[in-house]
């Protein structure tokens, strides 16, 4: 009998993520005074692919998974974007993520467009063999659309370097020659970049450091909480604590915790690796996810999934700075509430762009057959993302807007200029 997957039940209805993305685009388009035709072009994905993936499960049955790849815009360079494995993957989610990736690469000012992919599955209940067979089937299905000069996938939620390695092998087998540059986020042995594993969290920390300067917050005295103690969230915590900041709360898919005394980020990483969750960490108390988001801390990082901060939650947020390690965690209505409450938002398309910046550096290393040290990669990441932060902050001061709107003005503006300059064919 085919394996069955249950979708996560929501306590309250969540907004459509693509509607959120389109609303953010609409606001930026008004500031940029885009004509209607150009606005419509930027609101429409260039290409959407849905694939059916029959996979033989360990018990001998066949389960047909559904996968997506959305290529949103490539006016500034090849499509770029991660692949996520999650029960709640949907076409609208992937469309939204591909749009955000388009603006993200533009804000970071790297020569990429935006794309995203995903498969509806529950990887936590799949064996390594099942994951490999599903990944290879997906890679074969999207192979005609991807490539080092077309579309370069990368890891995202519940995908990793091993999954990228399977994609490299499948794609290279079909092409007839080894093509490591088809994806980024690969193992180092296959041409992956040093520093890539911590790049998203490290880049978010670099942005937080700049935001603390702007808001006159002493990081040595600052406290923070992280929603979503996965790859990005845990490395964000690990690196931010080296600046002296103290972690007081964290969460993962199994629950949230808080502590009256600072929690060591490295020990929490080790505890989760051993037990599978942050829940039960010595010295902590269980709390609700909403309580975590509304903790009395200086810095809050939503690093889980989209639509985490809904209006009811936003009203009670006490953090002075929000650093969005996740994609789309805050709804447009919540943005208005947070801005009115003078919360300094580092939006996702800026805050978590460290991953795609180092992915770009990995891609360059693959194409040029060169290799940089981790220190060199981290230095280039810091310069690139710090420059992006100040571009966005300057736009925010110029237009008198919040940082999200400013980031969209910068990102959409650069893509719009590229689209206009290219013209339309035929």
Instruction: Say whether 199-351 and 45-179 share the same fold.
Output: yes
234-293 per-position pLDDT tens digit: 999 999 999 999 999 999 999 999 999 999 999 999 999 999 999 999 999 999 999 999
pLDDT confidence of residue 1: 32
Percent of the chain with pLDDT over 70: 97
Q: Which residues pair with 63 in a beta bridge?
A: 55
Q: Which two tokens stand for residue 177?
A: 């020659």
| N-terminal to C-terminal alpha carbon distance within the chain | 51
CATH number of 45-179: 3.40.50.10860
> Comparing C-alpha atoms, which of 367, 349, 227 is closest to residue 300?
227
10-26 per-position pLDDT tens digit: 344 567 899 989 999 99
| Residue found by looking up tokens 């080092």 in the block | 148
134 to 172, 184, 237, 242: CA distances (angstroms): 17, 19, 32, 39
Catalytic residue set: 116
CATH number of 199-351: 3.40.50.720
Instruction: For the chain, give every domain's residue range.
Output: 45-179, 199-351
pLDDT confidence of residue 138: 98
On whether the pTM is more than 0.75, the answer is yes
pLDDT confidence of residue 33: 97
Q: Which two tokens stand for residue 56?
A: 């033989």
How far, in Å, CA of 271 to CA of 103, rounded? 36
pLDDT confidence of residue 5: 33
pLDDT confidence of residue 13: 59
337-374 per-position pLDDT tens digit: 999 999 999 999 999 999 999 999 999 999 999 999 99
100 to 78, 106, 116, 207: CA distances (angstroms): 15, 10, 9, 18
Q: Please say if the pLDDT value at position 191 is more than 70.
A: yes
35-59 per-position pLDDT tens digit: 999 999 999 999 999 999 999 999 9
The model's confidence at residue 328, banded by pLDDT at 50, 70 and 90, is: confident
How far, in Å, CA of 130 to CA of 159, rounded? 14
The model's confidence at residue 307, banded by pLDDT at 50, 70 and 90, is: confident
Query: What does the pLDDT average to over 397-412?
Result: 96
């Amino acid at each position: 009998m085919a394996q069955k997957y249950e979708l996560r039940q929501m306590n309250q209805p969540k907004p459509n993520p693509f509607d959120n993305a389109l609303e953010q685009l609409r606001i930026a388009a008004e500031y940029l005074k885009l004509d209607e035709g150009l606005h419509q072009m930027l609101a429409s994905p260039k290409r959407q692919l849905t694939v059916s993936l029959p996979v033989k499960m360990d018990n001998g049955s066949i389960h047909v998974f559904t996968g997506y790849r959305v290529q949103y815009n490539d006016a500034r360079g090849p499509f770029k974007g991660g692949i996520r494995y999650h029960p709640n993957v949907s076409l609208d989610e992937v469309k939204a993520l591909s749009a955000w990736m388009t603006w993200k690469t533009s804000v970071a000012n790297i020569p990429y467009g935006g794309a995203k992919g995903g498969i509806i599955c529950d990887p936590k209940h799949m064996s390594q063999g099942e994951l490999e067979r599903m990944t290879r089937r997906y890679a074969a299905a999207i192979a005609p659309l991807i490539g080092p000069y077309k579309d370069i996938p990368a890891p995202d939620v519940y995908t990793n370097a091993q999954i990228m390695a399977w994609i490299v092998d499948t794609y290279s087998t079909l092409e007839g020659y080894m093509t490591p540059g088809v994806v980024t986020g690969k193992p180092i042995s296959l041409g992956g970049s040093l520093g890539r594993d911590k790049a998203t969290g490290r880049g978010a920390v670099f942005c937080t450091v700049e935001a603390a300067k702007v808001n006159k917050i002493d990081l040595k005295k600052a406290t923070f909480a992280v929603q979503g103690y996965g790859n990005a969230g845990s490395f964000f915590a690990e690196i931010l604590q080296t600046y002296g900041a103290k972690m007081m709360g964290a969460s993962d898919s199994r629950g949230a915790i808080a502590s009256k005394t600072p929690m060591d980020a490295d020990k929490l990483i080790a505890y989760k690796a051993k037990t599978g969750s942050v829940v039960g960490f010595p010295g902590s108390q269980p709390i609700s996810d909403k309580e975590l988001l509304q903790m009395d801390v200086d810095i809050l990082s939503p690093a889980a999934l989209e639509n985490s901060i809904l209006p009811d939650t936003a009203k009670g947020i006490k953090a002075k700075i929000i650093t969005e390690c996740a994609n789309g965690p805050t709804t447009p209505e919540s943005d208005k509430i947070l801005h009115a409450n003078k919360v300094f938002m580092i939006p996702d398309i800026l805050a978590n762009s460290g991953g795609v910046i180092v992915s770009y550096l990995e891609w360059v290393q693959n194409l040029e057959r060169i290799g940089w040290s981790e220190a060199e990669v981290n230095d280039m990441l810091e310069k690139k993302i710090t420059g992006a932060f100040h571009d966005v902050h300057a736009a925010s001061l110029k237009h008198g807007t919040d940082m999200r709107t400013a980031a969209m003005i910068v990102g959409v503006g650069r893509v719009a200029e590229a689209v206009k300059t290219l013209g339309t064919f035929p």
